[in-house]
């Protein structure tokens, strides 16, 4: 088969690699650089702590592949437990954490509830004094997101795929043709097209006359200094009550929040973090960690929401496939999602729960932040 993959983020390059290594002829189109979009701005928090069976399978496979790829090129998977928690008095989220743990354990995940005293002993760099209910996922870690995408792009090329960067395209879904945006000729024909263009997926498909229920939304993150000796005692954390996360980072720590629950224009949005976000996040880090260093970098990125918070992964029309709508969990599951996209194109259906035809395309829905515990 001759297959076009549109999008050079983590999912797109993984799909290109998995298709090429199985002997298919692959051309990947990326409007900018590899990992130049949402992948390069992602947090790099990785875990398999999902309650739904299909999400747990995908998460488990993703972590397995991250470990397999670790050590190739400059990509490295850093083993780090993931702790999520609700404050004392937050009974609603505390109950949700307990319910999640029960379901995750039923799905075979290595997670367990944890007492604040145990957390203090295991992770002394963090102040756990306000924690009421907490859980720890052991099959977890973090990674540099761009290095993963670059590695998989190189592996795809070595397997025979052609990577075309700085190439924005449009498609003809009926005839399965791809040509440069703004051009009327130079169209190329394919047996299948996979649209994995992140926040641009909705617009690209709309230009081809195909509506999909996707909404890009803006998120924010920053890095700050943190004492190297204390960094070894720092897990990845998600404060479900306050709604922010943090993780170790080579330069100290990385933290994020700032979700805007409104739809963003994928071509016209603010890429710098807001001043208020930085101020609030630094205040939270001070309360949670005590002393830490100056903010070194801050930025915003785009995630993509769906009506049911599950992705669109599968065949939309004959020969036209989509992989989008990760709700902030795209990079952490990209090794499995890209693999599943490739398998779907080749006639398999590894994650039927994510089939995109479950929607008509014009559904109205509210954006909900992907890590929300409720």
Of residues 181 and 256, more confidently modeled: 256
Q: Which of 270, 139, 191 is nearest to 27 (CA)?
A: 191
221 and 294 inside one domain: yes
pLDDT at residue 349, rounded to an integer: 85
My answer on whether 135 and 152 are in the same domain is no
Element (H, E) at 62: helix 53-69
Cβ atoms of 47 and 137 closer than 8 Å: yes
Within-domain flag for 339: yes
Task: Please identify, among 282, 305, 328, the residue that sits at the C-terminal boundary of a domain.
Answer: 305
Residues 299 and 150 placed together within one structural domain of the fold: no
270 with 288, same domain: the answer is yes
Under the banding of pLDDT at 50, 70 and 90, the label for residue 372 is confident
- 307-358 pLDDT, tens per residue? 999 999 999 999 999 999 999 999 999 999 999 999 999 999 889 999 999 9
CATH number at residue 338: 3.50.50.60
| Tens-place pLDDT, residues 16-61 | 999 999 999 999 999 999 999 999 999 999 999 999 999 999 999 9
Position 183 pLDDT exceeds 80: no
Residue 298 maps to a domain: yes
Domain count, the chain: 2
Do 104 and 49 touch, CB atoms closer than 8 A? yes
d(CA 328, CA 326): 5
Whether residue 40 sits in one domain with residue 150 = yes
Burial 177-200 (b: 16+ CB within 10 A, else e): bbbbeeeeeeeeebebbbbbbbbb
- 340-345 long-range CB contacts below 8 Å, 24 or more apart? 340/58, 340/313, 341/11, 341/14, 341/15, 341/194, 341/196, 341/313, 342/14, 342/15, 342/18, 342/19, 342/22, 343/18, 344/313, 344/314, 344/315, 345/1, 345/3, 345/15, 345/19, 345/192, 345/194, 345/321
In a domain, 85, yes or no: yes
Tokens describing residue 162 = 């052609």
Average pLDDT estimate for 218-228 = 96
Judge if 222 and 267 occupy the same domain. yes
Decide if 288 is inside a domain: yes
Q: For residue 259, count other CB atoms closer than 10 A to its CB.
A: 21
- Band the pLDDT of 373: cuts 50, 70, 90: confident
> Kind and range of the H or E element at 141?
strand 140-142
Task: Provide the pLDDT confidence category of residue 93 given band limits of 50, 70 and 90.
Answer: very high
Asked whether residue 120 is assigned to any structural domain, the reply reads yes
| CATH number for the domain that contains residue 96 | 3.30.9.10
The answer on 234 and 288 residing in a single domain is yes
Residue 149 and residue 291 share a domain:
no
Average pLDDT, the chain: 95
Q: How many CA atoms lie within 13 A of 364 on its CB side?
A: 0
Read off the pLDDT of each residue in 222-231 and give the average, rounded to a whole number.
94
Concatenating the DSSP letter of every residue in 170-208 gives EEETTTTEEEETT-SS--EE-SEEEE--GGGHHHHHHHT
pLDDT at site 259: 84
> What is residue 51's DSSP assignment?
S
**Two tokens at 349?**
């259906």
Residues 219 and 283 in one domain: yes
Q: What is the pTM of this model?
A: 0.96
Q: Which two tokens stand for residue 124?
A: 């002394």
Q: What number is the average pLDDT over the span 166-192?
A: 90
Q: Tell me the pLDDT tens digit for each residue of 100-123.
A: 999 999 999 999 999 999 999 999
In terms of residues, how long is the chain? 374
* 236 within domain boundaries: yes
Rg of the chain (C-alpha set)? 20
Q: In this structure, is residue 371 part of a structural domain?
A: no
* Residue 368, pLDDT score: 85
Calpha distance 204→321 (Å, rounded): 13
Q: What is the pLDDT of residues 229-277, one digit of tens each?
A: 899 999 999 999 999 999 999 989 999 987 888 999 999 999 999 999 9
User: For tokens 């003809």, what's the residue?
Assistant: 172
Give the range of the structural domain holding residue 129, as residue numbers without chain letter.
79-140+215-305
Tell me: do 135 and 226 sit in the same domain: yes
Token representation of residue 113: 């509830």
Do 98 and 172 share a domain, yes or no? no
What is the b/e burial string over 204-222, where b = at least 16 CB atoms within 10 angstroms of the residue's CB?
A: bbeebebebbbbbbbbbbb
Lowest mean pLDDT among 58-67, 148-157, 183-192, 196-205: 183-192
Same domain, 207 and 224: no
> What is the residue-wise DSSP string for 86-135?
EETT-HHHHHHHHHHHHHHHHTT--EEEE-HHHHHHH-TTS--TTEEEEE
Residue holding tokens 């992907």? 370
3-state secondary structure of 283: helix
- And the tokens for 149? 């995408």
Report if residue 71 sits inside a domain. Answer: no
């Amino acid at each position: 088969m001759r297959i076009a993959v549109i999008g050079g983020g983590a999912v797109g390059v993984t799909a290109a690699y998995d298709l090429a290594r199985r002997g298919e002829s692959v051309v990947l189109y990326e409007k900018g650089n590899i990992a130049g979009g949402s992948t390069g701005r992602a947090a790099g928090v990785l875990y398999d702590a999902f309650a739904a069976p299909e999400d747990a399978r995908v998460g488990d496979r993703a972590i397995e592949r991250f470990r397999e790829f670790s050590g190739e090129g400059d990509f490295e998977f850093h083993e780090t437990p993931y702790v999520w928690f609700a404050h004392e008095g937050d009974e609603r989220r505390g109950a949700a954490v307990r319910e999640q743990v029960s379901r995750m354990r039923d799905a075979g995940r290595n997670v367990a509830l944890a007492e604040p005293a145990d957390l203090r002993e295991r992770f002394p760099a963090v102040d756990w004094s306000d924690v009421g209910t907490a859980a720890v996922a052991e099959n977890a870690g973090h990674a540099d997101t761009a290095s993963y995408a670059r590695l998989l792009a190189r592996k795809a090329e070595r397997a025979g795929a052609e990577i075309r960067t700085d190439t924005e395209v449009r498609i003809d879904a009926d005839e399965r043709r791809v040509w440069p945006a703004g051009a009327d000729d130079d169209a190329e024909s394919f047996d299948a097209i996979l649209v994995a263009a992140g926040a641009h997926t909705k617009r690209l498909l709309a230009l081809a006359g195909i509506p999909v229920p996707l909404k890009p939304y803006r998120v924010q993150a920053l890095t700050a200094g943190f004492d190297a000796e204390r960094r070894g005692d720092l897990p990845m954390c998600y404060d479900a009550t306050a709604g922010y996360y943090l993780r170790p980072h080579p330069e100290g720590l990385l933290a994020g929040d700032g979700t805007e629950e409104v739809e963003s224009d994928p071509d016209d949005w603010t890429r710098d973090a807001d001043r208020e976000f930085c101020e609030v996040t630094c205040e939270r880090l001070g309360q949670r960690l005590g002393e830490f260093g100056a903010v070194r970098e801050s930025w915003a990125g785009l995630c993509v929401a769906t009506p049911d918070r599950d992705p669109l992964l599968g065949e939309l029309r004959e020969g036209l496939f989509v992989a989008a709508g990760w709700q902030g969990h795209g990079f952490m599951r990209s090794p499995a999602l890209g693999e599943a996209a490739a398998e779907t194109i080749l006639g398999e259906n590894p994650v039927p729960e994510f089939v995109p035809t479950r929607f008509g395309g014009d559904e109205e829905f509210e954006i909900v932040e992907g890590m929300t515990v409720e």
